[in-house]
Structure 1
Amino acid sequence: MTTDADSDLKPPHLGLLALELRAPWEFGSVLAAWPALHRAPRGDGHAVMVFPGLSAGDASTVPLRRYLAYLGYEAHGWRQGFNFGPRAGVLESIRRELRDACESSGRKVSLVGWSLGGVYARELAKEFEDNVRCVVTLGSPFAAPPKATNAWRIYELASGRSAEEEHRRSGALSEAPPVPTTSIYSRSDGVVAWRGSIQPPDHARTENIEVIASHFGMGLNPSAWWAVADRLAQAEGEWKPFDRSGLLGIKALIYPDPHRA
């Protein structure tokens, strides 16, 4: 449920929106960061579904999915074409994809969602708690009204729906799923007001990880990739909050303290 404070959230200002042009350089920095990314915790082979953001498709998540596959996961996209909102049949199809992935592997599935895709991931985990291992979102606006983003007009054009009406009908989007859930966000996000990606930290289940990234580049950003890999690599049932310490203090610079004022 959106609080009175949340309802006053404004979308990122035009200066931050202009900084979204740095997204290609974030992907380019993967090459420089590869020695570190190569050392990320390895996966155990369980399935990971990756959901794209608004108006994007599986092509946008190919780099991240290939990285996760390199680490040992069975990573695949959502297989629903472009994400134009909850069109007829989409929600039913992703529910079926989740069930099929669990049945074929005999194991729980992790869900990773970028922007609007993260909202899908969180809601799926609420509905299918027994099938989901953990949820990781990237710049997802689950704790803010639609107009706290710079994308609400695009959403209405793409989906043919009223963003505010959808928000009213969707229920408590800010309520965390009953599985380990990580929200990765950036205070320099030019599309989503960063406070709209914050969930109350609960050391038994939920956390927030801040990265220095653009919204369009978050799913291509090496620091976000490392954080996703670190979260997915935890043994089922042994979840612990993200550790910012280590690497002679460098890690704390890459991942700012999310609890600071």
Structure 2
Amino acid sequence: MENNKIVYQSFVKLAVAIAVSQGTTEASAKKIITKNFEQHPFHKQLSKLIKKVSLKKENLNILANECISICEDFGPDRDYVTLVLLLETIYKNEEFKEIEKDTILNIIQRFKSEIERINAKIPAPPLYNVILETRAIAEWSSMFWLYPFIPKHKTNTTKPVLLMPPYLGNDNSTRFVRKYLKSVGFKTYKWDLGVNMINSKSIPKLVEKLDEIFEKHQEKVSLVGWSGGGIFAKIIANRHPEKVEQLITIGSPVWGLKNMKAPVIKSLEFLRGQKLRERNEKFIKELEEIPNVPITCVYTKTDGLIPWKNCMEAETYRKDIKNIEVFGSHCGMGANATILLTVANALSANLETKKDETIIEKVEQLFYPKFWQQKGLSKFTNLFFS
């Protein structure tokens, strides 16, 4: 929250000013805005910011420009979509009068287009990351002897999980993830569609597969997709949330595909002989929507094929959306011990009540960048003696 505090200070002032411009009092506007932030993971902190808002004779265009300028200073961020969606919700609020509706709509639409412009500037992975992709050879070869030593926390459920491979990969690409999930208790399913060419024609077949698993178990199915497989998984979760338990993506570009700068996009366009944005606008637009199911996005900042910011969903939109950073390459994600643990833990976390951590689960935290980002030696004492 601290990193985005300046953004939200500017944004809540804009939001309250928009509400007041629609004929409500400042006090009433603050209550409405606070209510709209109920699902935000930093609801308490934002409530305090909203209370501190003090309006004078504010110009909505100036407030919007200030917020946009701050967002641009901080750079591209998927969480900005939360701001856009909240403004659209405020605009549709039935408690407001029909005052300057066209003006407000124009401000919101311009705000949205400016955020899209800012988020289109995510750079391609640096050459250093591309070179580091050679680690994948070591990751895949080492997994054969490392696998037996990976901790296995048995789950109390046999929930179904459908796994989707990366671009140019097939079911062999997800063999270790499926094997591990099966060993801890989940019922895993292949996608059975051969090599993944990220073709929208695969979606009807995947939906049919989802229907079969859903009917067989008579319960919702969890979707796990690696890279291009995560693209399909997200679109299916958007279309059929009533049959999807949760969505987990692994190094998948879950937004911004239209303007994404990455080697994988260039290879895709080369093979098909057509620009991606010209090929399937509906497919790309659908990917921008956020499914109404729990979401976990796993990413690595040393990804050499996909810009890591495109692999993160808007955590601030809902409390059940999480982004988890891991160490490793993009091509080696299917044979990464931390990925196996992360996927299994994420599936279990959304299906079971929280349990006390065992010593093994505490040690697992050492494999994640989030632990090492903490300063000082106290991170070790806090981990084992808290």
Q: TM-score, normalised by structure 2?
A: 0.60
Among all aligned residue pairs of Structure 1 and Structure 2, give the percentage whose two residues are the same amino acid. 28
Q: Pick from 192, 207, 230: which aligns with 2:322?
A: 207
Higher relative helix content: 2
Q: Pick from 129, 144, 159: which aligns with 1:46?
A: 159
Structure number, greater radius of gyration = 2
> Where do residues 138-217 of structure 1 align in structure 2 (5 Å cutoff)?
138-145=250-257, 146-159=259-272, 161-166=274-279, 168-169=281-282, 170-202=284-316, 204-217=319-332
Please state how far the C-alpha of 1:17 moved relative to its aligned partner.
Answer: 0.6
Tell me: higher relative CO, structure 1 or 2? Use CA pairs within 8 A at least 6 residues apart: 1
1:9 is aligned to: 122
Q: CA RMSD in A?
A: 2.8
Check the 8 A contact 1:113/1:120 in 2, yes or no. yes
Listed as ranges, the gaps of 5+ residues in structure 1 are none
CA distance in 2, matches of 1:235, 1:40: 15
Please state how far the C-alpha of 1:249 moved relative to its aligned partner.
Answer: 6.5
Summarize deviations over 1:140-176 as a string: whole Å, max 9, x none.
1122335322201221244554212246432152332
Check the 8 A contact 1:111/1:136 in 2, yes or no. yes
Listed as ranges, the gaps of 5+ residues in structure 2 are 1-80, 82-114, 374-386
CA distance in 2, matches of 1:39, 1:63: 13
Check the 8 A contact 2:151/2:360 in 1, yes or no. no
Q: Using a 3 Å threshold, how does the CA distance of structure 1 residues 244 and 215 change in structure 2: closer, same or farther?
A: farther
CA distance in 2, matches of 1:54, 1:44: 30
Please state how far the C-alpha of 1:39 moved relative to its aligned partner.
Answer: 2.9
> Where do residues 57-96 of structure 1 align in structure 2 (5 Å cutoff)?
57-88=170-201, 90-96=202-208
SS of aligned partner of 2:245: strand
2:217 is aligned to: 105
SS of aligned partner of 1:184: strand
Count residues with an aligned counterpart. Answer: 255
Amino acid across the alignment from 2:328: A
2:227 is aligned to: 115
CA distance in 2, matches of 1:50, 1:3: 31
Q: Using a 3 Å threshold, how does the CA distance of structure 1 residues 86 and 54 change in structure 2: closer, same or farther?
A: same
Check the 8 A contact 1:135/1:182 in 2, yes or no. yes
Extract structure 1 runs of 4+ deviating beyond 6 A.
Answer: 243-246
